[in-house]
Amino acid sequence: MVRGTARLRLALSLFVCLGVTGLLGCKQEVGSAPVRPLPEVGVMTVAAQTIPDDPEFIGQAEASRIVEIRSQVTGIIKNFFFREGRDVKQGDRLYLIDPVPFQAAVVSAKANVAQTEARVVQAKQNLDRVKPLLAEQAVSQKDVDDAVAEDLAAKAALESAKGQLVKAQFDLDNTLIIAPISGLIERTKFYEGRLISAQTDLLTVIHQVDPMYVVGSAPESYLLQRRQQLASKKVERPDLYQLLGILTFMDGSIYPYEGQLDFASVGLSTDTGSRQGRFVFPNHERVLLPGQFVKIRVKG
Encode pLDDT of 231-242 as tens digits. Answer: 777 666 667 788
Is the domain spanning 56-64+205-299 CATH 2.40.30.170? The answer is: yes
Core vs surface per residue 190-225: b (16+ CB within 10 A) or e? beeeeebeeeebebbbbbbbbbbbbebbbeeeeeee
**116/146 Cα distance (integer angstroms):** 18
What DSSP designation does 254 have? B
Would you state the pLDDT for residue 272? Answer: 85
Domain with CATH 2.40.30.170 in the chain: 56-64+205-299
pLDDT at 6 over 60: no
**pLDDT in the model for residue 24:** 47
pLDDT, tens digit, 9 for 90 and up, residues 254-283: 999 999 999 998 989 888 888 899 999 999
Residue-level pLDDT at 20:
46
Return the pLDDT at 53.
58
Query: Residue 212 in contact with residue 257, Cβ under 8 Å?
Result: no
Segment 156-163 shows an average pLDDT of 97
Count CB-CB contacts under 10 A for residue 70: 15
Which residues, 6+ apart, have CB-to-CB distance to 193 below 8 Å?
76, 77
Separation CA 92–CA 206 (nearest Å): 12
Give the chain's end-to-end CA distance (angstroms, integer): 113
Residue 138 confidence (pLDDT): 77
Beta bridge mates, 293: 60
In the chain, ranges of CATH 1.10.287.470 domains: 99-172
The burial class, CB within 10 Å (0-12 / 13-18 / 19+), for 6 is exposed
Return the H-helix or E-strand segment holding 122.
helix 100-135
What's the average model confidence in pLDDT over 96-124? 97
Q: Would you say residue 29 has pLDDT above 50? A: no
The confidence band for 55, taking pLDDT boundaries of 50, 70 and 90, is confident
Assess whether pLDDT exceeds 70 at residue 12. no
Least confident range from 52-56, 61-65, 173-177: namely 52-56
The arithmetic mean of pLDDT across residues 188-196, rounded, is: 97
User: For position 209, what pLDDT does the model report?
Assistant: 96
Cα distance between residue 268 and residue 240, in whole Å: 16
CATH topology of domain 99-172: Helix Hairpins (1.10.287)
